[in-house]
Structures are given as C-alpha cells and as structure tokens.
Amino acid sequence: MEDVLMAFAAALAVGIPALATAWAQSRIGAAGAGTLAEKPELTGTIIILLAIPETMVILGFVVAAMILVL
Amino acid sequence: MNLLRDIDTAGAPDDYLFARIRYRRAALDTSGQGQWAGPADPHRALKAEYAWVYAQLNQGMRRKLLPFFEYNELGTLIIALRYLSAGDSAALKSQLQFSLLHPQLRKVLLGSDKITTVIRRLESLLSKRYAFLGGLTAHYLRQGPGGLEQALRGGFLQQATTESRSRPLREMLLYQLDMRNLLALYKHLHWKIPSPPPFLAGGTLPGSLTEKIWAAQDMAKLLELIQQRAGQKGDPEATGVEDFLFAGLTRQLHRASRDPLQAGLVLDYLWRYQLASRARGWQLKNTPAPPETALAGGAA
C-alpha cells in the first residue's frame, strides 16, 4: 500500500508541474512568436524565456525521483 | 448582409497578436515629430493597419470587436459616397482599396454614378441587418448629404454601443457617443445656433442634463461637464474642446489596455495609430500638429 502511495505522490510531483509548464510555455511561445514576427533579432531572448518554465517540470521530476529512490 | 467582408481564416492566438501589437504600439510616434515608419500616405497606412489587425484577430476577438470595426468602416462608406456625389471615380476606387467593406457593397458603390441609386441599393442590402437604415433614401432626399451622414454615424454608433459585449469597447463607444452630444451642444452654444442640437440617445450623460444646459444656454456648466467626462482639469477651450475630449479618450483607452486579457490593447493601439497618422498628415502639410496630438501623446 505504501508503494502505491509513493508512486502516486511521485506522479503528482511530476504531473502537476508538467501541466503548469505546458500552460506557461503555450502562452510564452505564442507571445514569443509574435515578438519574433516583429523583431527577429530577439530569437535568443525568446528561447531563454521559453526555457524558464521548463525548470518547474525539471524540479518536479527531481522531487519525484527523490520520492521513489530515497 | 453585414457591412464588413467575411474572413475565413481562424486568425492568430490572442497572445501572439497582443505581442505584435505591443511592439508596434511602442514604435508609434503620436507627436508628429519623429520618424514615420509606415507607408507614405498616412490615411492609407491607417486603413491598411485596420485591415491587418482585423485579419489577424481570431474568431472570438473578431466577434467581440465587430461593432468597433463596423463603426470605423462607416467612415470609408461615407467618404466613398462623398466622392461618388462629387463624380471623382479615381478617388472612390482609391478609397475602397484597403477597405473592409463587404465586396457586394463595393460593387454597388462602383456600379453606378447616381448617388440616389447607390443609396437605394445600400438601403435594400443593409436594412435587414441594420434596422435603422430603413428609409435611408427618403432621409437623403429630405435632408441631403449632411443629414445622411449624421443619420448613418448616429445610427451605427448607437447600434455598436448596444451590441458591444466587451467592456473596454462599450466604454469607448459610450465615450464617443457622449463626445458627439457634448460637441454638438458646444457648437450650438458657441455659434449661437437657434435650433436645438441633435442629441443621440444611449450615452452616459442624462438627457435631462444636456437639455437643461441647452435651455439655460449655460456654457460654464457645459465646460464643467466636458471636464468631468474627459476626466481632466484645465480649460477645454484653451486647447480646443474636441482636442480636450480626445485626450480624455486616449487616457481611458490607455487604462483599458493594461488588462492583458481584454480587447483594450487593440483599441488603444488603433486609436494611437489614428493619432499618429493624423500627426503625420499635419507634418506633411508643414503645419504644426494640433494640440490634441501632443495632449494625447502626453497622456500616453
């Protein structure tokens, strides 16, 4: 029973940040595409901005791994 | 039939379009002093920008802003009718170049030299969708081009105010409706015109108040009301009453544009583009821009 709960907690730890990341990236991606259409020189900045929400799901993954491994 | 042409494209997501508009808005110069980045003819540039924004809007946003675009495109129709009655077919064709008018309406405008025939056809095509256009031909024959323009602008503005579902758009249209009433009252008092001004119903100003001011011929009270509606202090007559009210509208739209999920940004951008193209027009004529452009720029 404990294993099931641990697996469920790990799934939540990675799943919820993944959804949040997807939502943030969808909005930043659309706005970034608009910005690039007007000013292509900002490509580097937009890629960085788009990557920032990725940290949420990476941290979620780390927490999930800690739950399962430790 | 609608006034505007149908667009089949799905349009762009709000975030994409808002990012583009924010960039373009930042690059605009409303003072008339800086560089003009658009096409040489500012009027044509304005029309092209309206058409671009309209085509980029997604279906939901387009539905939301339809009354605004209809009311603005009415200007094209009115100017086209003026060219038609003046017999200037080259200017008429040029006016319709970037127009958002429905292709059938364009065909009607280009199809006959007789203004009465054109107005009659317009009435038959549009009166089903816009009930207030019923009897337009009779109105034209009775009151002439001036009366026709007034009826069209007033009717469309009232309908747009009633139909608008977006809060910033509704507030903008209500402001424009009030502005028309205040300006009409001001002109009648200033020029001592004996007939009462043609007030439009539906604004935020109580009809009893404007009628009371007219009955008492109370200019001081009217100027106070103009200050209240524009939301700013100062003498409206010093800068010009119209310019004073324009500055109030600029401020109101700027406030509305701060909401990231609303249509206020689109309205603010197009209003500023209008001011910029106007300032550019003055610049081309080598005439100092009227004070409202500076006021509007300052308010922004």
What are B259's two structure tokens?
Answer: 């909401």
A27–B20 C-beta distance less than 8 A? no
- Percentage, residues of chain B above pLDDT 90: 58
> Which CATH number do you get for residue A27?
1.20.20.10
pTM: 0.84
Report domain extents, chain B: 14-299
With CB atoms and an 8 Å threshold, state whether B23 touches A30: no
Tens digits of residue pLDDT in B187-222: 999 999 999 998 888 889 998 999 999 999 999 999
A33 to chain B, any CB pair closer than 8 A? The answer is yes
Range B73-94 average pLDDT: 91
Q: pLDDT band for position B62 (50/70/90)?
A: very high
DSSP-assigned states of every residue in B175-197 = HHHHHHHHHHHHHHHHTT-SSPP
Q: Does the pLDDT at position A31 exceed 90?
A: yes
Contacts of A41 in chain B (CB under 8 A): none
pLDDT grade for B36, boundaries at 50, 70 and 90:
low
Full domain range(s) for residue A39: 2-69
| Torsion of the alpha carbons at A41, A42, A44 and A46, rounded to the nearest 10 | -150
A31 interfaces chain B, CB cutoff of 8 Å: yes
Number of structural domains (chain A) is 1
Rounded CA-CA distance A6/A1 in Å is: 9
> Which residue of chain B is at minimal alpha-carbon distance from A24?
B15
